[in-house]
Amino acid sequence: MNAIERTVDLLCNSRHAIALTGAGVSTRSGIPDFRSPGSGMWEQVDPFEVASITAFRRQPEVFFNWLRPLARLLQEAQPNPAHVALAQLEAAGIVKAVITQNIDGLHQKAGSQCVLEVHGHMRQATCIRCYRVFPTEPFIEAFLANGSLPSCPECGNVLKPNAILFGEQLPTSVVQAAQRHIYQCDVMLVAGSSLEVIPVSDLPHIARRRGARVILINLQPTYMDDQADVTFHADVADVLPEIARACRAPTIEHDRA
């Protein structure tokens, strides 16, 4: 069996397969890996001086200046074949949940239903003073056009997007839901994550220790490469559609029955 066949075999015979996705899944959609140093996003600025919660509270306008080009990319990005393939695997009943480090919402745009965004998202923003939560949509146009900062309709203070900044806690309920899936899963498909950002980087290791099989698809090597059952050093947007196609093919369906 080649790597694709082994992957299809693991997925199609799984009871509770889950996917864990990172920035690599959205590269083909034009979104840079902005959490990783060396991605180009941090050459001009220190991440902790711009995108940390303490920096945000001190100088939100610096954060929003940095965010603006990225926000435009996020606004215009469309799902690519990797997102579509994962949505198809979920629709086929194979993948039960997608745990993602991405804040771009592209899994949902592609049709994935159970998406756990452990680093938050940009659909809502929270007032840093009164903690009311608002949809970001009404603020986006003015922000992109002239950089005007989103402010709380109730108290006038600045709104922070619900994406998790450096130094912030991950959203508890999302992390707990992700943990439940990790404990239940028998196959974990890691796609487009270099597994460098803790605590998400530990999840495949935890799943592995509990007996799950691990499939890794990433352009660059990761610390889990030697422990995974199948490892691809390839673009997820090339490999995932092939896997989804094979999983949904009639012969494989027959094997599952």
Which residues make up the interface to Zn ion (CB under 5 A)? Answer: 127, 129-130, 152, 154-155, 157
Spot the catalytic one: 107, 119, 121, 181.
Answer: 119
119 is catalytic: yes
Nearer to Zn ion, 94 or 159 (CB): 159
The distance between the two most distant Cα atoms of the chain, rounded to a whole number of Å, is: 62
Residue 200 dihedral angles phi and psi, to the nearest 5°: -60, -35
The strand pair at 17-21 and 187-191 is best described as parallel
From the CB of 152, what's the least distance to Zn ion, in Å? Answer: 3
| Least Å from the CB of residue 154 to Zn ion | 5
DSSP secondary-structure letter at 158? B
Q: Which residue has the tokens 């998790």?
A: 164
DSSP for 164-195 reads PPBTPPPPHHHHHHHHHHHHH-SEEEEES--S
Cβ distance to Zn ion smaller for residue 35 or 160: 160
Neighbouring residues of 242: CB distance < 8 A, sequence distance ≥ 6? 4
In the block, residue with structure tokens 């902005």: 34
Amino acid at 93: G
Q: How far is the CB of 57 from Zn ion (least distance, A)?
A: 14
**Do residues 252 and 8 lie in contact, with contact meaning Cβ atoms separated by under 8 Å?**
yes
Nearer to Zn ion, 132 or 245 (CB): 132
Q: Which is nearer to Zn ion, 155 or 219 (CB)?
A: 155
How many CB atoms are located within 10 Å of the residue 219 CB? 13
DSSP designation for 243 = H
- CB nearer to Zn ion: pick between 150 and 204: 150
Find the shortest distance in angstroms from Cβ 238 to Zn ion. 45
CB of 18 to Zn ion, least distance (A): 36
Residue 256 and residue 81: Cα distance in Å, rounded? 25
Query: Smallest Cα–Cα separation from 127: which of 135, 117, 119?
Result: 135
> Active-site residues: which are they?
119
